[in-house]
Structure 1
Amino acid sequence: MLAGLVVAALIVTGAWPLAAQGDKPIRIGFGMALTGGLAANGKAALLAMQIWAKDVNDKGGLLGRPVELVHYDDQTKPANVPAIYTKLIEVDQVDFVVSGYGTNLIVPALPVVMERELVFMGLFGLAANEKFNYPYYFGIAPIGPKPRTDWSRGFFDIAKTHKLKTIAMIGADAEFARNAQSGARENAKAYGLNIVYDKTYPPGTADFSPVVRAIKALNPDILCVASYPPGSVGITRAAHEVGLEPQLFGGGMVGLQYAAFLTKLGPMLNGIVNYDFWVPEPTLKFPGVDAFLTKYQAQAESVGVDPLGHYLPPWAYANLQVLQQAIEATKSIDQKMVGDYIRNNEFDTIVGKVRFGDNGEWNTTRTLMVQYQNIADSEVKQFFGPGKRIVLYPEDWKSGELIFPYAEAKP
């Protein structure tokens, strides 16, 4: 079943001679998108995980044993995932499995993991465990206990503050975006908004001008978008081309968090209010995050990944920190002991304190809503520091004020 897959080499991270350890390594296996549509994200996540493994091994390993990462390229194809995890468990006999990046590649791994009652750390899944309710799934994304609605709750809280009344919604016809748009629809109804447009578009859509013109004709107060990177770029550009100016614009646009898209769009981003998980604002300076980013950014160019590393890499590192702390606390690699510990305890990570709820999601939401402000050009250097992605929500992490309406922040 694995014929044709690009198989990544077994990685033994750190310069620790295995023969000198007396115990075999603790092996952690996963699939990761190293080719295909999510390859840029997958490679960035992999680098972060390699940095974690080296950090652990440099300090003596886990339970006195070195750590090995065993990974295969899932090619961003959900159909490849079950076979990869079957091989990791049955052939490679890894001690733990963690997920690849994103909802579409987490969900197909879950049945394989559940059958064997293994702990499964999920990297950026949106409601990935909703259908399964698997007790040993834990998602490292600060979305919250009700992921569909928590994802966009901050966006709608901002809309409520400004007493907006009508909303248009557009999203990609794919699992993540459908989940995000479903939650936005629930929020819109709960907040008493009148939905004047609610449609999906095929993931391969290249020209968004007709869609945006149709939305402009309805003149909604709000445009809420649930998109993957191509759609995020296409909708932003089309909005500028046709002069679309809702009072609030953004929501769940994947891709705008990365240097490649920040620089591609530059000042066109000004005024958009969008989700994020970590940005270099002073309110989010958690212990260890700067040290991690220094290591990541020093290697990013040579590996050919996102030079900022703000969006996904800290979370890929923190995902393994949670697993590490549970193994160390229980002094065990027993799946049930480790899983029960993760469910019942709080963890200190480079993305802050983490505690999971009964469904494996964060017990409280910390999905950020940030506004792009004062972006002057397409130079990447402006995004390394604060002042370009202002945190508006949640209140505890707020770093600045909303420029409202959207048109006031445009170039």
Structure 2
Amino acid sequence: MRASLPWFSRNAIAVSAVALSVGVLAACTSSGSSSSSSSTSPSASASSSANTTPISIGASLSLTGDFSADGLAYQKGYNLWAKDVNAAGGIMGRQVKLTILNDASSPNQVVTNYQTLINTDHVDLTFGPFSSLLTTPASAVAARSGFAFIEGAGGAPTVFQTPQNEADHNVFDVSLPVADEIMPFVNYIASLPASQRPKTAAYPMAQDPFADPPVQLAQQKLQALGVKTVYSNIFPAEPSSYTPQADNVAGKAPDVVVLGSTDVPTVAAFMKAFETNHYTPKWFVAAAGPDQGAAFITAVGAGNADGMMVPNGWYP
């Protein structure tokens, strides 16, 4: 890790998009010829020319249910990737074919889907679903079948700490590990003169393997900078829990709120409760929700989205 990233976790591993290409090539060449001779025998030539069947890639995505906003976006992303690859001639001269099943945002269904993709559809490679909650059990299915598992989301520590992945190291993530996602904000606070730093902070967290690790690490580091914790609590990821928790935070009136949120409704509920309590934090960071773009703007209003921070790839 670079010395210029003082807060970066030691065990953080971010695999670049190169891993996706390497994983695909490895999967597609596992049954290929081992010959490296410059001359080609007739039989080898015939075998090579016959190897034009599409490369089958299977994925499960949340096309309905709680994660559908992101699942549908990931479907567009995977399809765009396949379109670009095929337009450029495919991989090793072979087109790629995507098979995407709907897991309805269910951990149980995602397991069934990957079992189907591997054992019934006989795909050559697996791409991951959306969310750490679904990626953890899905990657275990891939590991048991000896499959590389390339994911665009699902970087919670629990994903990489499963017994299957620790044994097989089959998960390749192209995104930053989630535990480190709020560290740029922490580094920003650390760069401020002591007189300008926040004095107090609150850390409400919906119970979720994705939402909580970055907030917990941010709390640890901000406390080390002298920012006093006035509220820290993990609550059920259920709508009935949001407003009472937000009211409690507003009652403490902290300078900073770092919210362990899983979706737009979580953040919108906290923003509404803060408004009702006539409380506006100086800094408000959410683990997820504002990154959904138009869905977030529609829920809270464009003016209310001003100054809202989120560690992700979407910027208004």
TM-score bin, normalised by smaller chain: 0.7 to 0.9
Q: Secondary structure at the match of 1:31?
A: strand
Q: Which amino acid aligns with 1:236?
A: M
Let me know the Cα RMSD of the aligned residues: 2.2
Q: Which string of whole-angstrom CA distances, capped at 9 and with x for unpartnered residues, describes residues 96-133 of structure 1?
A: 10101111111011211222332111221132213443
Relative to its length, the structure with more strand (as a share) is: 1
Checking the alignment, whether the CA contact within 8 Å between 1:212 and 1:242 is kept in structure 2 is: no
Aligned counterparts of 1:274 and 1:68: Cα–Cα separation in 2: 34
Cα gap change, 1:278 to 1:205, in 2 (>3 Å)? closer
Q: Does 1:276 align with 2:307?
A: no
1:242 counterpart residue number: 277
Q: Which amino acid aligns with 1:130?
A: Q
Deviates further, 42-51 or 172-181: 172-181
Q: Which string of whole-angstrom CA distances, capped at 9 and with x for unpartnered residues, describes residues 119-160 of structure 1?
A: 11122113221344352311121x25xx41x11112222333
1:192 counterpart residue number: 226
Q: Which string of whole-angstrom CA distances, capped at 9 and with x for unpartnered residues, describes residues 324-369 of structure 1?
A: xxxxxxxxxxxxxxxxxxxxxxxxxxxxxxxxxxxxxxxxxxxxxx
1:130 counterpart residue number: 161
What 5-or-longer segments of structure 1 have no aligned partner?
1-19, 280-388, 390-411
Out of 228, 232, 252, which is 2:267 matched to? 232
The alignment's TM-score, normalised by the length of structure 2, stands at 0.74
Q: Which string of whole-angstrom CA distances, capped at 9 and with x for unpartnered residues, describes residues 27-71 of structure 1?
A: 001111111111122112112211221222223222111211012
1:258 counterpart residue number: 293
1:33 counterpart residue number: 62
What 5-or-longer segments of structure 2 have no aligned partner?
1-48
Cα gap change, 1:208 to 1:84, in 2 (>3 Å)? closer
Deviates further, 100-109 or 236-245: 236-245
Equivalences for residues 295-314 of structure 1 within 5 A: none
Q: Which amino acid aligns with 2:231?
A: Y
Checking the alignment, whether the CA contact within 8 Å between 2:82 and 2:96 is kept in structure 1 is: yes
Q: Secondary structure at the match of 2:114?
A: helix
Q: Which amino acid aligns with 2:143?
A: M
Equivalences for residues 6-405 of structure 1 within 5 A: 23-127=52-156, 128-131=159-162, 132-133=165-166, 134-141=168-175, 143-144=176-177, 147-148=178-179, 150-160=180-190, 161=192, 162-206=196-240, 208-228=242-262, 229-265=264-300, 266-279=302-315, 389=316
Aligned counterparts of 1:201 and 1:173: Cα–Cα separation in 2: 6
Relative to its length, the structure with more helix (as a share) is: 2
Cα gap change, 1:42 to 1:253, in 2 (>3 Å)? closer
Name the count of aligned residue pairs.
Answer: 257
| Higher Rg of the two aligned structures | 2
Q: Which string of whole-angstrom CA distances, capped at 9 and with x for unpartnered residues, describes residues 208-239 of structure 1?
A: 44333322222212111111221011111221
Checking the alignment, whether the CA contact within 8 Å between 1:206 and 1:234 is kept in structure 2 is: no
Q: Which string of whole-angstrom CA distances, capped at 9 and with x for unpartnered residues, describes residues 60-87 of structure 1?
A: 2221112110121111001112221122
Checking the alignment, whether the CA contact within 8 Å between 1:98 and 1:120 is kept in structure 2 is: yes
Provide the identity percentage.
26
Which structure's relative contact order is higher, taking Cα pairs within 8 Å and 6+ residues apart? Answer: 1
Deviation at 1:192, TM superposition (A): 3.3
Checking the alignment, whether the CA contact within 8 Å between 1:123 and 1:140 is kept in structure 2 is: yes
